[in-house]
Amino acid sequence: MRFPFALLLAGLLAHAAAAAGPEITPLPPVEAAEWKEVRVAAGELVWFQAQPASTWDFIDDGVKGRAVEDGKVAGLVCGPGRHRVIVTARDGSRSRFVFVAGGPEPGPRPPEPVPVDALAKELRDLLAADPSPTKRADLQALSALYALMVGEADATVDDVGPDGQKRKRPAYETAAALNATFVRARDSMLKGPGDAAPRLPALRKRCGDEVAAVAGTDPDAPVTDATRAKLKAVYGRLARAVADAAK
């Protein structure tokens, strides 16, 4: 059975004309070429206002409408489904709408899932197995040290070039030299007076593997700009992963 839009619209418009002050909703703003969705109740007369006066084109068979007040206002009735309406102003600009009738209002969009950092999870497991009573405080300090290493990778020292002019040169010529600075600071921080070795051995090794994968195994290999950028990235990632593991 077809939905009797024309008959229903005529009756509803007549009823609205006799009633005092129907509720009129301003049309929402629309970007150029955008189809703006507007939700309405199926089978109910709804009124919308356009600014300025416009021509209303009810494209789909499932929506019937009539413009009044020289096109400033239109009443329309939608059957269940999605129905297109184009509102054209006197200057030729167009606003495109899709009136969605029937069904409940959409609920709030669920939050995007937080990506799981596999390295942080692995470090958390290693932390759980470590017996040290100071392990969480140690991890917070270790995270801060990794964050400092991001800047340390760009450290420079004063030098004199072949032309006798003063210049700046990288403080670390090799990845091994840069990492050695970190290891000395880390082990000093994680080894107390009564400790035979630095604390968190398994976690330290796992983090060291991440750095070694970027720094390589040749102790004399020079640090290129590309390697320095990769080292900064891995130090930054370890700072975040260690901080997450400490939570």
**Domain coverage including residue 174:** 118-245
Q: How is residue 98 written in tokens?
A: 């899709």
**Pair 79, 25 in one domain:** yes
pTM confidence score: 0.54
What does the pLDDT read at residue 9? 45
Is residue 168 domain-resident? yes
Q: How is residue 67 written in tokens?
A: 């413009």
What is the largest distance, in Å, between two alpha-carbon atoms of the chain?
Answer: 97
Is the bond preceding residue 52 a cis peptide, omega within 30 degrees?
A: yes
Under DSSP, is residue 32 helix (H, G, I), strand (E, B) or coil? coil
**Pair 72, 187 in one domain:** no
Going residue by residue through the chain, which has 247 residues, state the pLDDT in tens, using 9 for 90 and above. Answer: 344 444 444 444 444 444 445 688 998 888 877 899 999 988 888 999 987 778 999 998 888 888 888 888 899 999 888 999 999 988 888 899 999 998 665 567 777 776 778 898 999 999 999 999 999 999 999 999 999 999 999 999 998 888 888 999 899 999 999 989 999 999 999 998 888 899 999 999 999 999 999 988 888 888 899 999 999 999 999 999 999 988 8
If one counts the domains in the chain, the total is 2
What does the pLDDT read at residue 21? 55
Cβ of 94: how many Cβ atoms within 10 Å? 14
**Nearest residue to 240 via CA among 120, 148, 63:** 120
Do residues 216 and 230 touch, judged by C-beta distance below 8 A? no
Q: How is residue 46 written in tokens?
A: 């709804």
**Pair 87, 186 in one domain:** no
**Pair 180, 61 in one domain:** no
> How many Å apart are CA 201 and CA 231, to the nearest integer?
22
Is residue 108 domain-resident? no
**Pair 232, 130 in one domain:** yes
